[in-house]
Amino acid sequence: MLNISLFGETVAEIDGRTVSASEMGGSKPRQILEILACELGSPVAKDQLADQLWSGRLPASYVGTLESYVCVLRRSLRTGPERPAFLRTSSRGYLLDPEHVTVDLAQFRGLASSAFATDGDASLEMSSSALSLTKGELLASEPYADWAVRARQSFHRERLELCVRAAALASAGGDHSRAVSLATRAFGWDPLSEDAGQQLMRALWAGGRRSQALRVYSELRQSLVEELGDEPGRESQELYLEILRDPESSRRGGRSDGPAEMKVLLRLLRQAIDQTPGLRAPANDARLSEVAVAALLAG
């Protein structure tokens, strides 16, 4: 069995023995293995493979060069006469045989697909198993290749969607601690994701951590304003106001964080004033309310 790990530095193992990059023939054959591993079981046409391998700048003799790279790679993976052909050629291109090859990315996607097809604890456990596979950056061995960058972008969206959904399932099941953990991961991956921010706010709020939920809104708003020049959407704003109007949540959580909550509220007030045309928040927190009241009266 050939096991390929694409999270972190690429590793290929045959029955527990690591196949080094030099055995594969260098970086180009390794990239061919990685590209085929991303499409486990599906053939990749020669022209498509070459286009990715040379980033659209094909050398004059690219077909022969590509075939020589594949030949070297195939030899490095075929270490005995009884060894199955891990790398196959079909009428539509090259492919890795899924009967004899495992890839952690494919395992992630299989678990994620199953998780999305169900609900409740079963879905949550499959989501957690999928997320546990994602240790290290996808295709870390290829930090600059265009095809690897696109693969990472697609994977990041898949992972974020799975994690946000898992957080929602944990919240629905009353496991607020797990929901906070999952939503924190998602929001850390993408501070501009309102879905992740909302799930984290809800989980913290449900656990009686209102000031922390309000702080998440403040961080989300700041990121959106600074990076995109946009305010949070209506759903995020309404959730924030709902949390703000529920002082009982802190008591439900069995903790008092009044000073911390006040600091968050002052920060949000300062942000709102700074975003109002013609107004600038004073450096002194004690003056914030005076400026805010004056603005309300003027409006």
Q: What pLDDT does 287 receive?
A: 65
The whole-number average pLDDT for the span 92-105 is 96
pTM: 0.84
Q: What does the alpha-carbon distance between residue 35 and residue 145 come to, in Å, rounded to a whole number? A: 11
Q: What is the pLDDT of residues 151-201, one digit of tens each?
A: 999 999 999 999 999 999 999 999 999 999 999 999 999 999 999 999 999
pLDDT number for residue 20: 86
Angle (CA) 87-90-95 rounded to 5° is 35
Of residues 257 and 197, which shows the higher confidence score? 197
Return the minimum-mean-pLDDT range out of 9-23, 37-51, 76-90, 119-133.
76-90
Domains and CATH numbers, the chain: 2-103 (1.10.10.10)
